[in-house]
Amino acid sequence: MKKERFLGEDFKVFVRDLIDSGRLEEKELGIAKRMLDKGYDTLSDKQRYVFDKIIEDNIVEKCQRCGLDIPFNEMFEALENGGYCNYCQHMMEKIDKE
């Protein structure tokens, strides 16, 4: 995953959603909150490792159908639907209904 994707506001919203989702363990939760409050650069090397692992374990980099990057504002849906962007998920549902 390209690290520059972590700089946008949509990434911060994704991390907030991740915190609220109940997907994180207590230690991970504290590190994610610190990253949002103080910034990635304030994390220790160990905290960065844990944070990077949190993100790695909770993202889908590319859509399983079209191969495009999944934007962070669609990430939770992609995690739940098997790795598809919203457009491809919609198209597959439309085809299934026909």
Q: pTM for this one?
A: 0.81
Q: How confident is the model at residue 9 (pLDDT cuts 50, 70, 90)?
A: confident
Nearby residues of 18 by Cβ (< 8 Å), 6 or more positions away: 24, 32, 54, 58
Residue 94 is predicted with a pLDDT of 85
CA distance 48 to 45: 5
CA distance 74 to 79: 9
Mean of the pLDDT values across residues 48-76?
93
CA distance 50 to 43: 10
- pLDDT(72) > 80: yes
DSSP letter at 65?
A: T
Mean of the pLDDT values across residues 7-12?
84
Mean of the pLDDT values across residues 50-74?
94
- pLDDT(97) > 80: no
